[in-house]
Structure 1
Amino acid sequence: MHRFLLTPRWWGINLFVVLAVPFCLFMGSWQLGRFEDRVDSHREAASARPVTEQTAEPLDALLPVDKKTSGRPASVTGTYADQFLVPDRTLDGRTGYYVLTLLKTDGGRAVPVVRGWRPGPAQGVGPAAPAGRVTVTGALQASETSTSPGVHAEGGLPAGQLGVIAAASLVNLVPYELYDAWLTVPTASAGLTPVPAVAPADTGLDLKAFQNLGYTGEWFVFAAFVLFMWFRLYRREVEARRDAEAGLLVEPAQQPVG
């Protein structure tokens, strides 16, 4: 009765099921794991002390920037150098620009420091940075990319303006080595508003987190659907063979030719 399971057709069906079900379960578990990671990161962020209450660590000790070090207070000493404006940045529902100044350290490398935000179109050179040697403490941020939230295209910007805060965007504009990170200070200069730290990508209970949860359900449903279809095909095959053995299947009469 069940020898049909050894036919080439059913070998193909069985092989598909054996491969598809574990794959669907694996993908569902992976998506569930990503959702759980986001839940954990959300809890950690909710329970963490405000940046202003955390102890600042040397910048080099927190690099490279990852999900754990992003937003942590970092301290670095140096002298302010070149300054740029970063246009089309939104804060509290208003559009304005960042004032970004490069802090050149004793080692020769420079770190971009966002000294604050100002509403309106980016014009001029922005408020001057403090002169002389300074120690800056700010929230550590990973370099932006062209796909980061709030980032606009780089092309067509006037001289002295920057679209993406990243070493790759600054490397051809300044004659010194750059850190692949940037800082935003909690206390801005006069006339500027402090820019809050941005949560690292793929963390927190945002829309993508619940997309991961939805994908989890979809993959488990796919696995159940594969098993359901296999059982349905199996049952139909068994019933058809039983009917054939009982003589209940009648071949359709052949139509005369011509």
Structure 2
Amino acid sequence: MYRFLLTPRWLAVTLLALLAVPVCVFMGSWQLSRFDTRVDQHKHAEHDQQRTAEAAPVPLSRVLPKTGSVVGSDDSGRIVSATGHYDTAHQLLVPNRLLDNHDGFYVLTPLRLSNGAVLPVVRGWLPGKADDAARAGTVPAAPTGTVTVTGAVQYPETTDTTGVDVSGALPPGQLGIISGASLVNVLPYPVYGGWITANHPAKPLVAVPPAAPPNSGLDLKAFQNLGYTGQWFVFAGFAVFMWFRFVRREAEARADAALGILPDQPDGPDGPGGSGGPDGPGDPAAPDPPLAGDEPGEQDTEGARETASAGSAAHVA
């Protein structure tokens, strides 16, 4: 029954299926390896961040030599120390910041260093609304005099950072995004691009944990690799399924042809469309079709004439 598989056409179809399956499996395995690589990179990044956070504090100048310096990927979360005095006159509140799923705000106080530049320092987090705290005057005052602050270096925030407000509708004394570009417009000093979160804020302030550097987590690309893995494996199974389906359909069609069941005569020779049906040529009840060009009245007239002629001949005889 399946000898047709040895024909050139079916050999080509089978070869195509045999080639499609390993190609799909290879591509799926490759996408899975890409996903595993991204997971490993994420684990290594978390390990490096933890090791960096546990290292001894280093001077700020080692991480940010000048105000225009960019925070390196290896320095995000690094503990640094800086000495200066707080500029309480330019203290800012950063609203709409979550900590442990509680709404609150950051207290950002510029730390002016000996070189005249300012390092943004988030002294801590407080629950509630920044507007209410500002009106009630419940924000703890910053220490006076020369202080040495120890904290974790952070990347400048972007519009993708959770909680940022770039609408420009915040009241005076509040900041929507922590970055040198936004602070340079409200502070009369040169501003460092990075900022730090104080490790040991005075109560009731709560320490703000350092955020992970950008592009260090399992982003959408990692899950895209995982989705592509499933798609390629599905394609491999689909190729096998369609090959069996086509083979079965061909075998059934050949078996039907061997039994005389043709596609244009599904009911067989005895069906309504066959020669043995009630309207076939063997039906005695079927009248003969009229000849072309004859009208029904002409046939009756000719019959009557023939009858009359036969009667006259009989009378003469």
Q: Give TM-score scaled by structure 1 length.
A: 0.71
Q: Which residue of 2 aligns with 1:30?
A: 34
- The answer to whether residue 229 in structure 2 is matched with residue 220 in structure 1 is yes
* Larger strand fraction of residues: 1
- The answer to whether residue 149 in structure 2 is matched with residue 157 in structure 1 is no
Question: How far apart, in 2, do the equivalents of 1:147 and 1:213 lie?
Answer: 18
Question: How far apart, in 2, do the equivalents of 1:172 and 1:6 lie?
Answer: 71
Number of aligned residues:
246
2:71 maps to which of 65, 72, 78: 65
TM alignment of 1:1-258, pairs within 5 A: 1-3=7-9, 23-44=27-48, 48=51, 51=53, 54-62=55-63, 64-65=70-71, 68-81=74-87, 82-92=90-100, 94-122=102-130, 123=134, 126-152=139-165, 154-189=167-202, 191-201=204-214, 217-238=226-247, 248=258, 251-253=262-264
- Per-residue deviation at 1:184? 0.9
Gap change, CA 1:2 and 1:167, over 3 Å in 2: farther
What is the alpha-carbon root mean square deviation over aligned residues?
Answer: 4.0
Gap change, CA 1:61 and 1:224, over 3 Å in 2: same
Question: How far apart, in 1, do the equivalents of 2:221 and 2:29 lie?
Answer: 14
Question: How far apart, in 1, do the equivalents of 2:258 and 2:118 lie?
Answer: 86
Question: How far apart, in 1, do the equivalents of 2:158 and 2:41 lie?
Answer: 23
Q: Give TM-score scaled by structure 2 length.
A: 0.60
Question: How far apart, in 1, do the equivalents of 2:258 and 2:180 lie?
Answer: 78
Question: How far apart, in 1, do the equivalents of 2:201 and 2:43 lie?
Answer: 32
1:146 is paired with a residue of what secondary structure?
Answer: coil
1:57-115 CA distances to partner (integer Å, 9 max, x unpaired)? 23343354355322210123344333211123333554332211122334454221011
Answer whether contact 1:35 1:212 (CA < 8 A) is retained: no
- State the structure with bigger RCO (CA 8 A, min sep 6), 1 or 2: 1
Larger Rg: 2
1:61 is paired with a residue of what secondary structure?
Answer: helix
Gap change, CA 1:20 and 1:107, over 3 Å in 2: farther
1:166-214 CA distances to partner (integer Å, 9 max, x unpaired)? 223223222443222210111224653332323345557xxx58x8886
1:18-62 CA distances to partner (integer Å, 9 max, x unpaired)? 98665544433222222222233445556x48x5x6311233433
Answer whether contact 2:82 2:149 (CA < 8 A) is retained: yes
2:80 is paired with a residue of what secondary structure?
Answer: strand
Unaligned stretches of 5+ in structure 1?
none
Answer whether contact 1:97 1:120 (CA < 8 A) is retained: yes
Answer whether contact 1:141 1:198 (CA < 8 A) is retained: yes
* Larger helix fraction of residues: 2
1:35 is paired with a residue of what secondary structure?
Answer: helix
Structure 1 stretch displaced more, 59-68 or 154-163:
59-68
Answer whether contact 2:80 2:150 (CA < 8 A) is retained: yes
